[in-house]
Amino acid sequence: MDETKIKKVPKRILRLENVHSIGVIGDPGCEGLGTYNMKVYAGSLEESAKDDITLIVGDLVPAGTDHYYQVIRDMTETLAENPVYCLRGNHDTGEYTNYFGEKNYALLAEHFAVVVLDNALRTFEEDGLTLLSEVLAREDVEQVIIAFHIPVPNHFIQNCVSEEEFSRLRRAYEPWKEKVKYLLCGHVHSRFIDVVDSIPLICTGGGGAMIEDVSKDIKACDVEHHIIHFYEKDGGLDYRIADLSEDCYGRESENGVLNQNLNETVSGELKAHFQYLMFADRADRRGYPRIANLFRALAASEYHHARNFYSILERPAAFMESVGTFLPGEEFEYKHLYQMVAAYAAEHRSPLTEQAYKGAAAAEKVHAALLEQARDVPGFGEKTVYVCPICGYVMTETSVSERCPVCGGPKKQFEVFES
């Protein structure tokens, strides 16, 4: 008996027992298999565990090499709680069949079927279209989901197969069109629902890759990471969209030993990031631009390490609610903590520490004011923000002056952040 979670499909038609629902995950790995993206994939697998099986509609990996396939396979084996079937995407090249078997196949459940077609190269293979017709012609098949990676022509996006290719697909299902309940695809790092040839088309690419703008009608700010649940209902086949929260996976951060080690590692990586940036500044001043460039690159690497470790720990609120969660920390720092430490430093004749805390407190007060404005995320209007590189004071277009009001640094040195 096959105990593996991620399935290598051995033949064109598989009969599945006790399957009444399917969770669909789109595009988990095409932007890379780093921890930051894979946290979303882990959350997707947890959500899809509510179904009897899972289908990944392509782009498991950024490129089809043994290394990437082994990474995604091992991660899936550890995290998945139900059988996982795969569909080849345009990034899933190379060794795909060695890991996942057939590229065109059908899963036959008791009351519905899923026909998986390979169109990773923007064409439907003849073998797949023949299989589709064969399955639709069966008397024991009454409702079918046709799944493929790259969308067919639709009303939302141009990134799709040609009309000619869609015509080939239509010819394959046309005699049994009433059995086709859904067309299902991925490829686009977003989500949309359309009707094509009188059949619902569901495009889902929210299982790992960062959500992005795909058209004037479909903006990243309007779509969350998500999966699709298909399930039997009243003798038919229905679906629902399950948005994933920003806090979609927390299993590993709940382990006390791992939590402590992750927190310590984040601190160490961020300290290295900061140290390398400071040394890069020193190298610039000494006239060694190549050394400065190296240390800025190393600093960037340490930041990304810290981000990956911290993403495992992070339990954020929903995006639109998140800005407000940063306010209490800023207010506590400038109202209480920094003033208290500055007073202690003054009492103990430590003027540099006193100066650093007073300057930071002034900046934190501005931080809090700007964060209060930014609670209204869509309405936030500050286009330019200035930061004094000497003390860290923050100014906007309406408050910027020729010199920093805290330390006196000149405007020509201010770091400018424009949007």
Determine the pLDDT at residue 299: 93
**Cα 180 versus chain centre, distance:** 31
Instruction: Select from 14, 193, 17, 230 the least CA-distant residue to 116.
Output: 14
List of the chain residues with pLDDT < 70: 1-2
CA 96, CA 105: separation in Å to the nearest integer? 14
What is the CATH superfamily name and number for domain 255-316? Ferritin, core subunit, four-helix bundle (1.20.1260.10)
pTM: predicted TM-score of the whole model, two decimal places: 0.87
Cβ proximity of 84 and 76 under 8 Å: yes
Q: What is residue 1's predicted lDDT score, i.e. its pLDDT?
A: 58
E strand residue ranges, 197-333 = 199-204, 226-233, 236-243
In contact, 32 and 62? CB cutoff 8 Å: yes
Supply the DSSP symbol for 187: -
The pLDDT, as a whole number, for residue 292 is 92
Q: Any bridge partners for residue 345, and if so which?
A: none
Residues pairing with 196 in the sheet: 199
The C-alpha atoms of residue 2 and residue 24 are separated, in whole angstroms, by: 22
Give the other-Cβ count within 10 Å of 177's Cβ: 12
Q: How many residues does the chain have?
A: 419
Q: What is the 3-state secondary structure (H, E, C) of 351-365?
A: HHHHHHHHHHHHHHH
Give the C-alpha distances (Å, rounded to integers) separating 11 from 1, 15, 77, 180: 16, 10, 21, 22
How far, in Å, are 115, 173, 407 from residue 45 at the CA level?
21, 31, 51
Q: Alpha-carbon torsion 45, 48, 52, 57, what sign? A: negative
CB 182 within 8 A of CB 239: yes
Q: Which residues pair with 240 in a beta bridge?
A: 229
**237/182 Cα distance (integer angstroms):** 9
Topology at the third CATH level for domain 13-243: Purple Acid Phosphatase; chain A, domain 2 (3.60.21)
Question: Taking the domains of the chain in order of start, what are their residue ranges?
Answer: 13-243, 255-316
pLDDT digits (tens, 9 = 90+) for 287-337: 999 999 999 999 999 999 999 999 999 887 777 788 888 889 889 998 999
- CA torsion through residues 256, 257, 262, 265, sign: positive
Neighbouring-strand partners of residue 202: 184, 193
Assess contact for 22 and 54: CB atoms under 8 A. Answer: yes
